[in-house]
A and B are shown apart, each in its own frame.
Chain A
């Protein structure tokens, strides 16, 4: 899978603002890498380093008037304080529209099932196929748009 080297995405013509994506992971290297890769794909990416900050960020983005709606949340499951799954549960009390991708290093069957029941769009086990993740992000964001 090769990356586009210039940004002539047709999305820019459709939507005046880039899609907003929040990436949450307590592993700084992982979070920055993912955020940067998604930025290079043309998204507006916000970062959160734990569950509490993720909640705050989601609240801030969805309340912000005039801002583009939150296109996607990508969150690690295992984070200090609040797990990705707990954030997902909390988010589902607010709305069922925002797509969520859960990343996990411990993706057992139970966790996959719980995540699906809470309406997670996808669950990716670490190490994940980066190309597949980017493809999935593209699909989800375009559905929302």
Chain B
């Protein structure tokens, strides 16, 4: 291994060597003189001896210094550095060779583990979501039962007294002796009783939900009739309703209750939409093979969708989860009991379908009613839910 020193180290070494050589040369001259003279005087002896020792010592020290500072230390430093670097390189090369395969194997195993982890997390997520949904379903059914029992009991308790109050008010109104003030009072009592009677009847209808009597129904006609029925109302409020219907959709439904559902959804949309806003879109989507959400529907099969989209400001995020609950309403007191969507939810469920809501708060609301298609040739239905095709004939309710 060649010795190399750093540049300043080399200068120091050369200088030291020069001092050493000159010292040795001086020492040699003094030694030669001392040997030739043969010790003339004591003083001279002492002086010569001192000179010799001094020169030899200086030369030796310089040599040692030169060797260590100029040559050896940098060389040692360089050598050790080299050794270390090469050692490391060799070691890493050896580690590389020896462990590359193991590292690769480990890496692969970790990637696989990560994939498995991600998959199980996803599965867990889906499962949790499904369970949460199922629990929600149960809670909803439970609430419906409770509210149903409550409504039924309340309605029956209130029914007779309401009739009695109205009847007596009518009797008072029938009396010719009744003064104008009392007549006004009696009239108010009668009118308010009628209003309460109507609410109680609504409650009873809600509580006494009957099983649907389903028969093949032309859904397109049903949607069309419902829209025609509501067109005057929509016009009055300055709202346009567009229908997008490929036609020819026949489903097994209870036409009267299904119309109740459609009416409810469209009236809600009309009421939410300010005059002159973007039109409400009612879409009939032909059946597709779907996997229903957990706890809903009747397993994988063909389902048709009726979708109502409005641009009436959407539903607040905190309200979205509650809109199908009985008595939930964002309207003012006296403007409805908040049973409409809850009733619709129940009716759609009785049909083996489900109803869902999505909203972009401040913008749009989309309510989807998904109903099972009863045709047996299910293979004829396309899989996957396709996006809705552009309207073949957009019908404005105002034009109907």
Contacts and interface: CB of A to CB of B under 8 A. Distances in A.
Given A127-B197, A127-B200, A127-B201, A5 B174 contact: yes
A5, A33, A106: residue with the most chain B Cβ atoms closer than 10 Å: A33
B163 A127 contact: yes
Contacts, number: 61
A109 B163 contact: no
Contacts of B164: 29-30, 33
A36 B171 contact: yes
The majority secondary structure among interface residues of chain B is helix
Contacts of A128: 163, 197
A13 interface: no
Interface string B155-192: 11011111110111011011110000000000000000
- Chain B contact-residue range equals 20 to 34
A130 B160 contact: no
A4 interface: yes
Given A2-B173, A3-B174, A125 B204 contact: yes
A80 interface: no
A108 interface: yes
A30 B160 contact: yes
Contacts of B162: 127
A5 B163 CA distance: 21
A34 interface: yes
A16 to B, nearest CB: 24
Nearest to B167: A33
A127 B160 CA distance: 6
Interface of A: 2-6, 27, 29-30, 33-34, 36-37, 40, 105-106, 108-109, 125-130
A6, A27, A128: residue with the most chain B Cβ atoms closer than 10 Å: A128
A110 to B, nearest CB: 10
A3 B159 CA distance: 22
A30 B291 CA distance: 54
B210 interface: yes
B170 A126 contact: no
5 contacts: A5-B175, A30-B163, A37-B170, A108-B208, A126-B163
B161, B167, B204: residue with the most chain A Cβ atoms closer than 10 Å: B167
Nearest to A38: B167
A2 B186 CA distance: 12
B171 A130 contact: no
Nearest to A106: B156
Given A30-B160, A127-B158, A127-B159, 9 more contacts: A3-B173, A36-B168, A40-B174, A125-B201, A126-B159, A126-B160, A126-B163, A127-B163, A127-B200
A6 B208 CA distance: 41
Interface string B120-159: 0000000000000000000000000000000000011011
Interface in B335-371: none
Given A3-B170, A106-B156, A129 B197 contact: yes
A105 to B, nearest CB: 5
**A-B interface, 10 closest residue pairs, ranked by CB to CB distance from nearest:** A33-B167, A127-B159, A126-B159, A3-B174, A127-B197, A29-B164, A127-B162, A40-B174, A105-B156, A33-B164
Interface string B277-298: 0000000000000000000000
A130 B200 contact: no
B167 A36 contact: yes
A105 B158 CA distance: 10
Contact of B160 (A105, A108, A109): A105
